């Protein structure tokens, strides 16, 4: 059987990390594409030269987005092309620049990889994945956004630290848009199946500490931006997108929080928002429409409104999207 092909559009901090993980995990051949051709080729060559040491076989190459033909026939495309935040910037400040990038990337994918499963990471995520889907014209189930896996991983790590238990035994859910309005769902977060509210009742933590963890989850991206001083998180975002790609490539049918196209689910139409979804060989196969209590619904609606504003801004900037 021929190897799978993974196209990484954007060879910056996340793109390079994705290439490294994909090669180490032997997910398939890797093509790194960037405006900066030297960066894409240099990172591909550097990882290829590491492969005899880590002992895995895959072909790594780099190319310029002047010519998208190297992504031809890709099984998975992961898009990080664009600019990241600088300290003091919100994700939404990136909209104008990254919308133009989504247009060229979407057209490249449409022409050369129309059967790929596409994972968008570029911010502001929920609006960019929506625009990327529009520009590419791919089926909605084959274009998803990565944010919820990352936000939930941050939430899980904070919970594991608080309870002093293995990260493996903590599950957590973050829904909604990938911004300050995201909705970390304590009620659906567990330690080995025990809901977090029960952990509070058993005295393992307090409501105040949980509230602080929820706040820290919401501003988790900003915390890293401040610490790095230049650029944003890349290890955890890359790991999160790889988990989504593996679920698709291996038809694992994992239930992951992803930005997916909603057509009436949760009362939302023609928008991408983070919700739990089954990812398998059919792409985004089935949305899990969990029930929300009144407070959670209010937070979710607030988050959806924020995404709506961003989609409207995209349509205002590029009338072809209206
Ligand atoms: P960075 O290291 O700057 O890499 C971006 C790359 O995109 C650079 O190498 C650019 O040269 C390249 N690029 C710019 N324009 C184009 C174009 N038109 N075509 C192809 N390549 C282009 O950034 P990064 O890797 O740290 O982050 C990438 C994106 O992911 C940013 O928009 C971040 O805000 C976003 N991000 C999202 C999350 C989520 O959870 C959703 C987390 C972290 C970062």
What is the percent of the chain with per-residue pLDDT over 70, rounded to a whole number?
Answer: 100
Q: How far is CA 291 from CA 39, 75, 295, 296, 297, in A?
A: 46, 34, 12, 9, 9
Which listed residue (140, 178, 261, 302) is catalytic? 178
Homologous superfamily of 5-146 in CATH?
NAD(P)-binding Rossmann-like Domain (3.40.50.720)
The DSSP-derived string for 70-114 is: GGTT-SEEEE--S----TT--GGGGHHHHHHHHHHHHHHHHHH-T
Sheet arrangement for strand 183-191 = 170-175, 183-191, 194-195
Which residue, judged by its Cα, is nearest atom 14 of ligand 1?
82
User: Is residue 240 lining ligand 1, measured as CB closer than 6 Å?
Assistant: no
- Report the relative pairing of strands 194-195 and 254-263 from DSSP bridges: unpaired
What is the distance in A from the centroid of ligand 1 to the CA of 313?
A: 20
Q: Tell me the per-residue pLDDT of 82-135, one tens digit each, with 9 for 90 and over.
A: 998 888 888 888 999 999 999 999 999 999 999 999 999 999 999 999 999 999
148-312: which CATH topology?
L-2-Hydroxyisocaproate Dehydrogenase; Chain A, domain 2 (3.90.110)
Nearest to 20 by CA among 3, 6, 1, 35: 6
d(CA 290, CA 275): 9
Q: For residue 178, indicate whether it is catalytic.
A: yes
d(CA 141, CA 132): 13
Give me the sign of the Cα torsion angle 150, 152, 153, 158. Answer: positive
Q: Structure pTM?
A: 0.97
Domain ranges within the chain, ordered by starting residue: 5-146, 148-312
Q: Pocket of ligand 1, candidates 65, 237, 239, 260: which has the most ligand atoms within 8 Å of its Cβ, to mutate?
A: 237
Distance of CA 203 to the CA centre of its chain: 34
216 is in an annotated binding site: no
Helix (H) or strand (E) holding 62: strand 60-64
Give me the sign of the Cα torsion angle 302, 78, 71, 13. Answer: positive
Q: Tell me the per-residue pLDDT of 269-315, one tens digit each, with 9 for 90 and over.
A: 999 999 999 999 999 999 999 999 999 999 999 999 999 999 999 99
Cβ of 315: how many Cβ atoms within 10 Å?
A: 14
- The answer to whether residues 40 and 11 touch, using CB atoms and an 8 Å cutoff, is yes
What is the distance in A from the centroid of ligand 1 to the CA of 192?
A: 35
| pLDDT at position 141 | 98
Q: Give the chain's mean pLDDT.
A: 96
């Amino acid at each position: 059987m021929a190897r799978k092909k993974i196209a990484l559009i954007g060879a910056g901090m996340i793109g390079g990390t994705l290439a490294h993980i994909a090669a180490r995990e032997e997910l398939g051949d890797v093509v790194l594409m960037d405006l900066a051709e030297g960066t894409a080729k240099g990172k591909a060559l550097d990882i290829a030269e590491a492969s005899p040491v880590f002992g895995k076989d895959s072909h790594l190459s780099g190319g310029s987005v002047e010519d998208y033909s190297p992504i031809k026939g890709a099984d998975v495309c992961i898009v990080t092309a664009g600019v990241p935040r600088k300290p003091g910037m919100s994700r939404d400040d990136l909209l104008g620049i990254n919308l133009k990038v989504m247009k060229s990337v979407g057209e490249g994918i449409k022409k050369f990889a129309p059967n790929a499963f596409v994972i968008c990471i570029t911010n502001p995520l929920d609006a960019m994945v929506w625009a990327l889907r529009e520009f590419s014209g791919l089926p909605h189930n084959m274009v998803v956004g990565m944010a919820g896996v990352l936000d939930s991983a941050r939430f899980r790590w904070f919970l594991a630290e608080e309870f002093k238990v293995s990260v493996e035994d903590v599950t957590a859910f973050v829904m909604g848009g990938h911004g300050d309005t995201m909705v970390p769902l304590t009620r659906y977060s567990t330690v080995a199946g025990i809901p977090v509210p029960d952990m509070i009742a058993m005295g393992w933590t307090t409501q105040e500490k949980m509230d602080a963890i929820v706040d820290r989850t919401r501003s988790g991206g900003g915390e890293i931006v401040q610490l790095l001083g230049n650029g944003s998180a890349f290890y955890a975002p890359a790991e999160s997108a790889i988990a989504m790609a593996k679920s698709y490539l291996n038809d694992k049918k994992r239930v992951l929080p992803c930005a997916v196209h909603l057509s009436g689910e949760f009362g939302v139409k023609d928008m991408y928002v983070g919700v739990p979804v089954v990812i398998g060989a059919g792409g985004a196969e089935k949305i899990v429409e969990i029930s929300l209590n009144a407070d959670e619904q209010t937070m979710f609606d607030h988050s959806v409104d924020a995404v709506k504003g961003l989609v409207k801004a995209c349509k205002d900037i590029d009338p072809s999207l209206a």
